[in-house]
Homo-oligomer: A and B are copies of this chain.
Amino acid sequence: MIEPRTLKGFRDHLPAQALARERILDVARQVYRSFGFAPIDTPALEYLEILTGKGSAETDKQLYRFTDHGGREVGMRFDLTVPFARFCAQHIASLGTPFKRYHMATVWRGENTQRGRYREFMQCDFDTIGTTSPVADLETVLVVHDLLAAIGIERFTIRINDRRVLGGVLASLGLADRATDVLRSLDKLGKATRDAVKAELIGHGVVADAVEKLLKMAELSGSMADVLAGLESLVADSESGRAGVAALRAILDGVQAAGVAEGRVVVDPSIARGLDYYTGIVLESFLDDLPTLGSICSGGRYDNLAGLYTKQALPGVGASLGIDRLLAGLEELGKLSAVETPAEVFLVFFDEAHLADYLRVASALRAAGMAVEFFPEAKRVGQQLKVAAKKGFPAALVIGSDEFAAGTAQFKNLATQQSTTIDWHGDLHVLVDAVRSQMVSR
Contacts and interface: CB of A to CB of B under 8 A. Distances in A.
Given A2-B50, A257-B359, A372-B36, A12 B106 contact: no
A14 interface: yes
A356 B253 contact: yes
Contact of A356 (B53, B65, B257): B257
A309 B2 contact: yes
A158 interface: no
Given A72-B7, A343-B34, A29 B18 contact: no
B33 A90 contact: no
Given A254-B356, A309-B4, A355-B135, A373 B11 contact: no
Nearest to A105: B106
Contacts of A142: 359, 363
Interface string A339-362: 011110010010000011101101
Interface string A68-99: 11101010100000000011011100111010
A35 interface: yes
Contacts of A164: none
B18 A39 contact: yes
B11 A39 contact: no
B13 A40 contact: yes
A110 interface: yes
Contact of A131 (B19, B308, B341, B376): B376
Interface in A341-394: 341-343, 346, 349, 355-357, 359-360, 362-363, 366, 370-377, 387, 390
Interface centre among A11, A49, A357, A373 (most CB of B within 10 A): A373
B254 A139 contact: no
A100 to B, nearest CB: 7
A10 interface: yes
Contacts of A29: 22
Contact of A359 (B254, B306, B340, B372): B254
B6 A46 contact: yes
A376 B136 contact: yes
Contact of A10 (B3, B43, B120, B257): B43
A161 to B, nearest CB: 21
A276 interface: no
A116 interface: no
Interface string A98-126: 10110000101010000000001000000
A18 B38 CA distance: 8
Interface of A: 1-8, 10-15, 18-19, 21-22, 29, 33-47, 49-50, 53, 64-70, 72, 74, 76, 86-87, 89-91, 94-96, 98, 100-101, 106, 108, 110, 120, 128, 131, 133, 135-136, 138-139, 142, 146, 253-254, 257-259, 306, 308-311, 340-343, 346, 349, 355-357, 359-360, 362-363, 366, 370-377, 387, 390
Closest 4 pairs between A and B when the two form their complex, measured CB to CB: A36-B373, A66-B66, A257-B356, A15-B38
